[in-house]
Every structure is written in C-alpha cells, then in structure tokens.
Amino acid sequence: MGIVSISFCTYKLWKWIIAKRKARRTKENGMLLLNKEESHKKFSSDNQKQVQELPLFNFEMLVNATSNFHLSNKLGQGGFGPVYRGKMSDGQEIAVKRLSRTSAQGLEEFMNEVVVISKLQHRNLVRLLGCCVEGEERMLLYEYMPNKSLDAFLFDPHKERLLDWKKRFNIIEGIGRGLLYLHRDSRLRIIHRDLKASNILLDKELNPKISDFGMARIFGSNEDQANTNRVVGTYGYMSPEYAMEGRFSEKSDVFSFGVLLLEIVSERRNSSFYNDEQSQSLLGLAWKLWNTNNAIALIDVMIYEPCFEIEILRCIQVGLLCVQEFAQDRPTVSDVVSMLKSEIVHPPLPMKPAFIERQIASDTDSSQRSQTECSVNNVTVTMVQGR
C-alpha cells in the first residue's frame, strides 16, 4: 500500500512539474498573453487584425530581456524611438524597437511596419519576430544583427578595414537583391523610401539586411508613382522629385541605392563636402572624376587592388546611372542587378546626377541634356536624421 501511495504521489509531482514547465515556457515565449480587447482598443479594427496576426510578447518579458531597457543595451535612436538589444531566457538575442511616446509619427510607423514587413520574407530583409501592445507600450521585435548597421562599419576608420572589396561587393549585391524582392518578387510591391547606410543591418557574416519599413508604401499592380504632402526620409539619399515635389516611385529607391553604392565604393558620406573650391557633394565629386576619366580616384584606398579595378569601376558607373537627375533615365532595380552581375555587358553612359551645383562636363560629353547651370539645392548637403 505504501509503495502505491509513493508511486501515486510521484506521478502527481511529475505532472505538476510538467505543467509548471509548460506554463513557464508559454510565459517566456510571451505568445498571446495579452488581453487583446484591452491591448488593441486604441487600434482600428483593421489594425487590430494585423497586430493579432503577429506573435505577441508581453511587456514584463521584454523588461527582463533588456534589463529594464538599460542604457547599456541601447543600440540606437530613430524617429520611431529607441532600439534595444535583448536576450530571451532561452538565449535568443533580439532587437526591440520601442515606440517613443513623444513621437508624433510613431504609431503610424508602428502599424506601417506591422502591415508591410510581416508579409515579407527574404534573406536580405530583416525578420520581424513579433510585437508588444500592452497599455501605452508599442514595441516591435526583430532578429538581432550582431554587426549593427553598415554605416557603423563604413564610416568608422577602425572598422572599415574589415570590409575588403569582396565583402563590400557582397553587400552591394545583397541590397540589390533585397530591393528587387520589394519591387518585383514579393507578394506586395513595396517602395522603401528611406534606404540609407544606417538602415542596412549586417549579420555575423556581414550579409546585408534591409531594415526600417516605417516609411514604406505599398503600390498597387497598376501604380507607377504616388504623391505625398509629407516628405519623410533622409536628405542626401532622397531623389530630387521626392525631396522637392513629393513624388515617389521605384526610381526613388533606385536613387537611394545609387547613393549607397557610391558611398560603399568611396567610403565617403554624401552629406559631406569634398575636394576643391567648388565644395562638391559625393555625387558632384563622382561626376567630376567620371568625366575627367579619373573615376579610379574615387575608390577607397583600403579596398583598391588592380584585379578588382574593372568591377569597382563598373559599380561606380552603375551608381551614377542610379542617381541621374531625371527618374525616367534611371535603370530599374532588375537592370541594376543585371549590370552588377555583368549580365548587361555594356551599361549605358550616365548623364548628369541630381543636385549638382554647377555643370561639370568633359568636352566630349555630348549626351548631356542641357549645358545650363542647375540650381543649388541643399538637399544633398544637409543630413536630417528623420529615423
């Protein structure tokens, strides 16, 4: 009888332990622990549906994961709010983007990211893991990128040495593939609108992932461009038609990609001035060097090797094609990817980039649209950190 009693008690204890473990795992995962009616009451019915489709994490778990959002875990700050590094109880590292309560555009960006990126999956896009909507708290959880962002490498004299040409070209191709997926290959047509070095995250192998879809817009199948009265983004990366007229399209993203490409090759920011008395932006400098048959001078000395010269010069040419003044002259992302892979053997010659203060052309440059001076626009020289 005693043995039976002991066996029964042991069985009950085992069942209790299993139940506790299961409950703890559920809590740690944070899935569906919210009172949805309370948590979503400030969202429209459509937004509630979008949020409920995502894995939901509770606030307490994220407090623990980020050590109560400790400053030492802060990765950065954008227009949406601060971003923190977190570590789950199972050891998984995450990035937590916490909506700032003072951000006027934050809630709109929050829902925009939920709607856009939750429907996308590609190796060159950052992966959304879930969200937290509890009380006044709004947070998005992403896979953690241990190497942070491209600009942290590219413009840091101590880290840029880690990016040789092969790694940089891999980053260029990866960004191109990610952008091609957004424009053509995903179930939605997405215009990112804020492509820049700080929005390109790098995983542990330095593979690029496009991030930050708060400004992104979904295009219909028959829609080629759209207009907005609220221009958002980062000066230096914005196309002229978007910065000055509020018109955006796939070609707006192509322009931003071209700026990125030239920055990666040269290790120079487009928001700074370079070279001579003309105080040129990166685009102006690249154009001048191209037209004087000296584009090789644009290349970062840290990556230059004669065996890579043709490939790097091709990237400069593609970059200049992407930043041409008129949107209709710029290539599609599909053509850009083909040119980078040398599938298009002879890319066209670029015409004048946008935002050039003064016409800089060689005597043989007969392809120019105009020999008149272009008005100065500070959009290329003032960096506004809108994110």
List the catalytic residues.
Answer: 194
The count of residues in the chain is 387
Measure the CA–CA gap between 232 and 222, rounded to whole angstroms.
24
Angle between helical axes of 106-117 and 45-52 (0-180°, round to 10): 50
Residue type (1 letter), 193:
R
Measure the CA–CA gap between 196 and 205, rounded to whole angstroms.
20
Measure the CA–CA gap between 320 and 153, rounded to whole angstroms.
23
Tokens found for residue 278: 């003309």
Within a 13 Å sphere around the CA of 204, how many CA atoms are in the beta-carbon half?
Answer: 3
Gyration radius of the chain over CA positions? 25
Measure the CA–CA gap between 262 and 272, rounded to whole angstroms.
13
Contact at 8 Å (CB) between 312 and 289?
no
Residue 79 in 3-state DSSP?
coil
List the beta bridge partners of residue 311: none
Residue 251: how many other CB atoms lie within 10 Å: 25
> How far apart, in Å, do the first and last CA atoms of the chain sit?
71
Q: Is the dihedral of CA 289, 290, 293, 297 positive or negative?
A: positive
Residue type (1 letter), 334:
S
